[in-house]
């Protein structure tokens, strides 16, 4: 009888170190963009708008699940978005008691404005890099985008 090989938490070929560096760099860049962006829409409201844009119309419960928050929290978020005119609420044709939330035209415009502003912020940071660094980032984009695919 043979013993099973020991289980190690360390990843091969420096994978753990690369993961730590990537996590820090992406996290810090995201934070800088958020801070420098000074958007008038708080992060959870902004995230909810993006989710409604991508998957809407949605029921409050589905939106809360997708955003990993409680239904009461999402209800407050939607109330704030509704007050600003960034979402529309409509009766759910499948359930007379339910409401479907969708993005309004002002909501779509607000998202476009945030994206344009954040893209400009990143472009200014990219402009500080030399050609080789920008080429390295461009070459890494397929790998970075592949990290966004969820495991099934």
Q: What does the pLDDT average to over 56-72? A: 94
* pLDDT tens digits for range 90-118: 998 888 888 999 999 999 999 999 999 99
- pTM for the whole structure: 0.76
Mention every residue, 6+ apart, whose C-beta is less than 8 A from residue 87: 49, 52, 78, 81, 101, 102, 103, 104, 107
Higher pLDDT, 98 or 20: 20
* pLDDT tens digits for range 113-144: 999 999 999 999 999 999 999 999 999 999 99
* Neighbour-count burial for 100-114, b at 16+ CB within 10 Å, e otherwise: bbebbeebeebbeeb
Q: What angle do CA 125, 128, 133 make, to 5 degrees?
A: 95
pLDDT averaged over every residue in the chain: 89
Q: What is the pLDDT of residue 152?
A: 59
- The yes-or-no verdict on residue 8 having pLDDT over 70 is no
- How far apart CA 24 and CA 19 sit, in angstroms, is 9
């Amino acid at each position: 009888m043979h013993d099973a090989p020991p289980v190690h938490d360390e990843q091969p070929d420096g994978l753990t170190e690369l993961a730590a560096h990537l996590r820090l760099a992406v996290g810090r860049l995201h934070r800088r963009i958020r801070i420098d962006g000074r958007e008038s829409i708080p992060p959870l409201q902004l995230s909810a708008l993006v989710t409604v844009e991508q998957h809407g119309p949605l029921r409050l419960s589905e939106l809360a699940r997708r955003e990993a928050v409680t239904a009461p929290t999402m209800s407050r978020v939607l109330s704030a978005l509704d007050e600003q005119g960034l979402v529309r609420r409509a009766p759910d044709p499948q359930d007379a008691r339910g409401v479907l939330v969708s993005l309004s035209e002002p909501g779509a415009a607000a998202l476009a404005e945030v994206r344009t502003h954040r893209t400009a912020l990143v472009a200014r940071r990219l402009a500080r890099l030399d050609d080789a660094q920008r080429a390295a980032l461009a070459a890494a984009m397929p790998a970075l985008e592949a990290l966004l695919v969820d495991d099934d």
